[in-house]
């Protein structure tokens, strides 16, 4: 889990290391209040982050048990608060554990988000048949990887129909076909998480070279040409 981390000040050292790779660095942050979101955002901006992604899938104080990302008005307020605190682009990462992800995406857009990321992990659980108890001490955890790709695909597709800001897809990307499928659904970029554990860091170059091959074979120059192409007739 990324949330139980040593804190934003410590993390600034990691941003510096990441920046040595010369690629843009997007810092993922969360806070337990609007003010804390703003404070953490300023710390990672000063630390060199090129953009900020707001993790909105954490429990929020006041409404115990509810995730912040399930409350469209609060999502809009968090985005607005962070946008007023920093100059760099702000991306709202959405949870699919909601009845209508489009409402939340639209709220993030209204708050001034420069992009949305869809999706975070899906609430799930497993039971050990021998111990006859839930496998996780927390009982419920977050499901990631290929199993959630069809759900994330549906979210990206639906959001694309309703918001104008770019969408970053996350959920089960393991090869270039997955990435291209997300582009066609409406994503302008993809994230890779779980596949790093399955395939190692090589997965990044395999996915990007596969996308290059697909683009060349189909006569496209840039990914934007295929973003959202699965929509319409
Ligand atoms: C071990 C693990 C830790 C994660 N920690 C975070 C986190 O701290 N913040 C966050 O926004 N998402 C977190 N995620 C969610 C991923 O960023 C991503 O949204 C999700 O796993 C779907 O992508 P994937 O199938 O490529 O892993 C985590 C996922 C995993 C598997």
162-218 pLDDT, tens digit each: 999 999 999 999 999 999 999 999 999 999 999 999 999 999 999 999 999 999 999
**Which residue shows structure tokens 């981390």?**
5
How many folded domains does the chain comprise? 1
Write the residue with the smallest CA distance to atom 11 of ligand 1.
55
Q: Which of 144, 194, 195 to mutate to test the pocket of ligand 1 (most atoms within 8 A of CB)?
A: 144
- Return the closest-CA partner of residue 155 out of 140, 132, 137, 172: 172
Q: Which of 51, 58, 102, 226 is catalytic?
A: 58
**Pairing between β-strand 189-191 and β-strand 127-128 as defined by DSSP bridges:** unpaired
pLDDT in tens, 79-122: 999 999 999 999 999 988 899 999 999 999 999 999 999 999 99
Binding pocket residue ranges, ligand 1, CB within 6 Å: 1-3, 28, 55, 93, 120-121, 144-145, 148, 170-173, 192-195
CB 25 within 8 A of CB 48: yes
pLDDT band of residue 68 (cuts 50, 70, 90) is confident
Q: What share of the chain is helix, strand, coil (3-state, %, to 5)?
A: 45, 15, 40
The two tokens of residue 208 are 């990007």
Residue 2 covered by a domain? no
CA of 3 relative to ligand 1 center, distance in Å = 10
Q: DSSP 3-state assignment of 27?
A: strand
CB 215 within 8 A of CB 221: yes
CA of 213 relative to ligand 1 center, distance in Å = 28
pLDDT of residue 97: 87
Q: Is 58 a catalytic residue?
A: yes
Residue 231 covered by a domain? no
Residue 67 covered by a domain? yes
Q: Could you tell me the CATH number of the domain that includes residue 202?
A: 3.20.20.70
Residue 94 covered by a domain? yes
pLDDT band of residue 65 (cuts 50, 70, 90) is low
- Check whether 228 has a pLDDT greater than 90: yes
Residue 232 covered by a domain? no
Residue 89 covered by a domain? yes
Range of the domain at 202: 8-226
CA of 169 relative to ligand 1 center, distance in Å = 12
Alpha-carbon span 158 to 101, nearest angstrom: 8
pLDDT of residue 32: 85
pLDDT of residue 5: 81
- Check whether 61 has a pLDDT greater than 70: no
Q: What is the rounded average pLDDT for all residues in the chain?
A: 94
């Amino acid at each position: 889990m990324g949330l139980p981390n040593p804190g934003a000040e410590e993390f600034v050292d990691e941003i510096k290391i990441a920046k040595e790779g010369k690629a843009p660095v997007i810092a993922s942050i969360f806070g337990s209040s609007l003010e804390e979101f703003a404070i953490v955002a300023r710390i990672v901006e000063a630390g060199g982050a090129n953009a900020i992604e707001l993790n909105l899938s954490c429990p929020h104080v006041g409404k115990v048990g509810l995730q912040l990302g399930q409350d469209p008005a609060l999502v809009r307020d968090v985005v607005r608060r962070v946008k007023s605190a920093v100059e760099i682009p702000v991306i709202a990462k959405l949870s699919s554990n909601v009845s209508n992800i489009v409402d939340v995406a639209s709220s993030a857009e209204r708050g001034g988000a420069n992009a949305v990321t869809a999706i975070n992990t899906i609430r799930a659980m497993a039971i050990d048949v021998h111990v006859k108890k839930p496998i996780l001490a927390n009982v419920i955890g977050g499901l990631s990887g290929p199993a959630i790709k069809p759900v994330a695909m549906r979210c990206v597709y639906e959001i694309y129909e309703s918001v104008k800001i770019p969408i970053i897809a996350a959920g089960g990307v393991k090869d270039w076909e997955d990435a291209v499928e997300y582009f066609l659904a409406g994503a302008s970029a993809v994230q890779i998480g779980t596949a790093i554990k399955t395939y190692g860091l090589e997965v990044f170059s395999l996915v990007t070279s596969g996308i290059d091959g697909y683009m060349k074979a189909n006569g496209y120059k840039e990914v934007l040409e295929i973003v959202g192409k699965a929509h319409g007739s």
